[in-house]
Structure 1
Amino acid sequence: MSQTLETDRTTGTDGAVELHERHLSVVVGGQNRRFHYVWLRDNSWAPQDRVFLSSERKAATFDIRDDIAPLSARYDDRLGLVVDWNDGRSASYSAEFLCRYDYSGAPRSARRHAVRLWDEQPTILPRVAHADVVATTEGQLAYLDAVREYGAAVVTGVPSLDGEVERFAETIGHVREVAFERVHNVRHDPTGYNVAHTPGELKPHADLPSYSWPPSVQLLHFLVNRADGGESTLVDGWACAHELRRVAPHHFDTLVRTPVPYQLFSADEDTWAENPMIELDTDGDIKVLRFSNQLAQPLSVPFDRVEAFYDAYRHLGRIIDSGRFRHTFKCDDGDLVTVHSHRVLHGRLPYDPSSGARHLQDVYMEFDDLLARRRVLRGEHLPTAAQRPGNEETA
């Protein structure tokens, strides 16, 4: 049973309020928006409930009454939605707040960051000059937007100096510490301890799935790249996984459900973790792809699940290795490749180590930090207050 309440508005459609059993609806910004009573009560910015400067809650969510409901509700031009609650408190919710945090289908979907999966045509990766990224807000935003949308970008003209990749990382965020070198040197190593240090083909992969939360960004800075061959390869792993889901959903589900162990170690350190290759978020979208053929350890699952896993693994691996979602390019001296490594796999073609020098350095970061930097530069990180200071008496 619903009830239409009074509105103070005399023009337009904004301001109509309806109460329902467990939620209300209010027209704001020309749209009918629905909010559960418990959500509104939990998000009160009244002085008793919230520290205004930090937006931190003082009221405990678990103390909200099970039968929380309005005694009255109205829309005010200045205050927004004004609610008197049955627990004796009152709160107002500004139009800006209601529009920004509307969690109905379309507004909620619009807040999820845009991802442009690579198609089967050669992808032209965004390229941004180093001087623009480190010295201008516009250049840094162009770089961050590219990594956010495409999962990869190339920064050109980075000084070919030892440790410059670390200095660049600290310009845009924070270096992710791992068990091994903070700045890792990649060059030909005749002992061949690591496949990245050999001159053969390096299949597309993501680094360090041997952590339960692998680093989500990798920066690869080419100090010098004069050897014949060695073209870089990037593959949109999410696009490959989407293709697997489309053509063989049972294989996709197998990789979501099967834990795979990975290990990377040194004489003094060890990393080992066991997780599915494909991790989904709560909406069923791909969140993390853990794919590193070279670091996979012996599978340990129930006997009757082994062959199903290998069927699925080979299917995904062949899509990744097909070249359909791959971008191949030669890096110049001073190029810095950034990959969102929970999504984009990196590798390289074979090269001739006797034909010229090839030396790169890499560090790890977290994608969350890049997104945070982007929000700060855009002025989008501060929360929208539901209630302005001083409104408590008029609410």
Structure 2
Amino acid sequence: MTPIPSFARHERRPIATVERDGDVVTLGWADGASFTCLSEWLHEQSIGIDPSTREGTVEPSDLAPPGSLVGAFVDDGALRVEWATGERATVDPGWLRSIADGDHLPGSGVGRPRPWTASDLPEPPSFDGSRVLDDESVLEAWLGELCTTGLARLRSTPTTDDLMAELAARIGPIRGSNFGGVFTVESVVEPDSTANTGRALGQHTDLPTRETPPGFQFLHCVENTVAGGASRMADGLAVVEELRSNHPEAHEALTTLEWVFANRAPDGDHRWVAPLIDHGATGSPLTLRAFYPVRLAPHMPIEDQPRAYAAMRTFSAVAHDARFMITSVFEPGDLVGFDNRRILHGRDAFDPGVGRRRLRGCYIDRDDVLSRLRVLRRPGRAATPTAAAAAPATATPDPATPVAGAPPPPTRSIGGVAP
């Protein structure tokens, strides 16, 4: 079997029919599924694949030219293709079926976002985190909930300063910021951020001053003996839909009128210009730029500014509405992850002079979180015997979500077909 551009072990799905019309090849399966592709694509994704890296090796100018495909037929359920150059390939039918089914697309394997309100989700979905460093099924279930709900909590994790970095290492590279890699959130005498005070924080997202704000934020409670300081969360998808449906003028202003966001620090100067509700390019995830301490100035004509401020007031009112906002108190050992570009988070005020509230946190980019979840759910990964430990404490993962487990054995079939 010719190497394919995948490390997954695809279920064997024999091809039933192959039709060729010049350079266009159409594959059919017994269940009625079909897939149509071009000979150049077949050449670069079969002949041109390196068996070790599973990456392409052929420059576009070196691809088999149009008209050079001389044969395409079924060979023991696989696709056999031949070119006038003498090159031949036998392509894994399971991999081809995965392409036909869209399993190669960015949203595959991670679940669709599920918008929620306070009536749907009275508290963060919670999982037993005592074994998250050792059991990949716990990690997979927690990350799966995080990527669909946008919010998920681990409970009973060790209350050590190193836990945050250790868990991040199981997910992906930490996204650094002006706060460093792993940072501490607690009230200090000379704070470098409003987060490091005892003040209340309105519903917001972090680092709107960046071209691409961090995808996910993680906060681990090491110690909490203060009165107050409850954490507040609201789903930006639900907030935006409420604005679109019931406050269309505000929604229009929030999605089109731009602001300058700027980080104010002695040793940093980050700036970006964008609307508060930033939908980005087609297919991009929602990015809410909603942190008033770093919103510097309107970037719009003076005549638009009154409605821009009116729209922000409406946004704030909806984001703090009890219908959309849930409140919980950090307990030592709680570790909460959330989609920083989607989930609005805030905090009640507390007296820093009585007790101590100390969190350790970090950011990890969305690409790396989704990559880790896809690998954990990659076809062919054997289930671990401790998969039952992934059962959440207060929430049930999407029933369509497969349970992932241990890494595959080091020796892989070059064709990527499961034995």
TM bin (shorter chain):
0.7 to 0.9
Structure 2 counterpart SS, 1:209: coil
Give, in angstroms, the shift of residue 107 of structure 1: 8.8
Q: How far apart in 2 are the matches of 1:181 and 1:13?
A: 51
Note closer, same or farther for the CA distance 1:188–1:220 as it changes in structure 2 (3 Å cut). Answer: same
| Cα distance in structure 2, aligned partners of 1:231 and 1:214 | 24
Unaligned runs of 5+ in 2: 1-12, 382-411
**How far does residue 96 in structure 1 lie from its aligned partner after superposition?**
0.6
Task: Decide which moves more: 137-146 or 275-284.
Answer: 275-284
Report the residue type matching 1:83 in the other structure: V
- Cα separation, 1, equivalents of 2:20 and 2:84: 14
Say whether the 8 Å CA contact 2:254–2:277 is kept in structure 1. Answer: yes
Of 324-333 and 239-248, deviating more is 239-248
Superposition CA RMSD, Å = 3.5
Shift in Å at residue 105 of structure 1?
Answer: 11
Matches within 5 A, 1:1-395: 15-19=16-20, 23-28=24-29, 30-37=31-38, 40-41=41-42, 43-46=44-47, 49-61=48-60, 63-64=62-63, 67=66, 70-78=69-77, 80-85=78-83, 89-102=87-100, 113-121=111-119, 123=121, 124-189=123-188, 194-248=193-247, 251-252=250-251, 254-280=253-279, 283-284=282-283, 286-303=285-302, 305-380=304-379, 388=415
Distance 2:357 2:182 in 1: 16
- The 8 Å contact of residues 13 and 30 in structure 1, kept in 2 or not, is answered as no
Q: CA 1:89/1:256 → structure 2, altered by over 3 Å: closer, same or farther?
A: farther
Displacement of 1:175: 1.8
Deviations 1:280-333 (A, max 9, x none): 365556342222122111022345544454454343333212232222111112
Deviation at 1:61? 3.1
Mean Cα displacement is larger for which, 276-285 or 205-214? 276-285
* Structure 1 SS opposite 2:270: strand
Structure 1 residue 138, shift from structure 2 partner:
1.8
Gapped runs of 5+ residues in structure 1?
1-11, 390-395
Instruction: Identify if the C-alpha distance between structure 1 residues 193 and 379 changes in structure 2 by more than 3 Å, giving closer, same or farther.
Output: closer
* Cα offsets for 1:113-170 (capped at 9, x unmatched): 3222113415132222332211212222222112122112212223333343223322
Q: Is the 8 A contact 2:102 2:108 kept in 1?
A: no
Normalised by the size of structure 2, how large is the TM-score?
A: 0.76
Distance 1:66 1:287 in 2: 41
Change (3 A) 1:70 1:278: farther
Equivalent residue pairs, number: 373
- The structure-2 alpha-carbon separation of the partners of 1:128 and 1:16, relative to structure 1 and needing over 3 Å to count, comes to same
Equivalent-residue separation in structure 1 for 2:318 and 2:377 (angstroms): 37
Closer/same/farther in 2, CA of residues 112 and 369 from structure 1, 3 Å limit: closer
Where 1:243 maps in the other structure, the secondary structure is: helix
Q: Say if 1:163 and 1:183, in contact at 8 Å, map to a contact too.
A: no
Q: Is the 8 A contact 1:42 1:61 kept in 2?
A: no
* Change in 2 beyond 3 A, CA 1:14/1:388: closer
Distance 1:189 1:14, change over 3 A: closer
Q: Which amino acid aligns with 2:325?
A: R
Tell me: CA distance 1:387–1:93, structure 2 relative to 1, closer, same or farther (3 Å). farther
State the 1:109 CA deviation: 7.0
Decide whether the 8 Å contact of 1:147 with 1:339 is kept in 2.
yes
**Deviation of 1:67 (Å):** 4.4
Deviation at 1:212, TM superposition (A): 1.1
Greater alpha carbon shift after TM alignment, 350-359 vs 132-141: 350-359
- For the Cα contact (< 8 Å) 1:70–1:83, is it kept in 2? yes
CA contact (8 A) 1:230 1:349 kept: yes
Q: Provide the C-alpha distance between the structure 1 equivalents of 2:275 and 2:61, rounded to a whole number of angstroms.
A: 34
How many angstroms apart in 1 are the aligned matches of 2:84 and 2:248?
49
1:222 to 1:247, Cα distance in 2 relative to 1, 3 A: same
Could you tell me the percent identity over the aligned residues? 24
Question: Distance between the aligned counterparts of 1:109 and 1:369, measured in 2?
Answer: 14
SS at match of 2:344: strand
1:192 Cα deviation after fit = 6.0
Separation in 2 of the partners of 1:107 and 1:213? Answer: 21
Contact preservation (8 Å) 2:155, 2:333: yes
Q: What do the CA deviations read for 1:236-275 (whole angstroms, capped 9, x no partner)?
A: 1122123333445565455444443212232222222223
Distance 1:346 1:59 in 2: 47
Supply the distance in 2 between the matched residues of 1:179 and 1:122 (Cα, whole angstroms): 36
- Quote the residue 2:409 is aligned against: none
SS state at 1:133 partner: coil
Q: 1:99 to 1:43 in 2, by over 3 A?
A: farther
Q: How far apart are residue 386 of structure 1 and its match?
A: 12
CA contact (8 A) 1:235 1:344 kept: yes
Change (3 A) 1:95 1:51: same
- TM-score normalised by length of structure 1: 0.80
- What are the superposed Cα offsets for residues 92-111 of structure 1, whole Å, 9 maximum, x if unpaired? 43211211112669999765
- Cα offsets for 1:31-78 (capped at 9, x unmatched): 3323231663354312xx221221111112355578457444222224
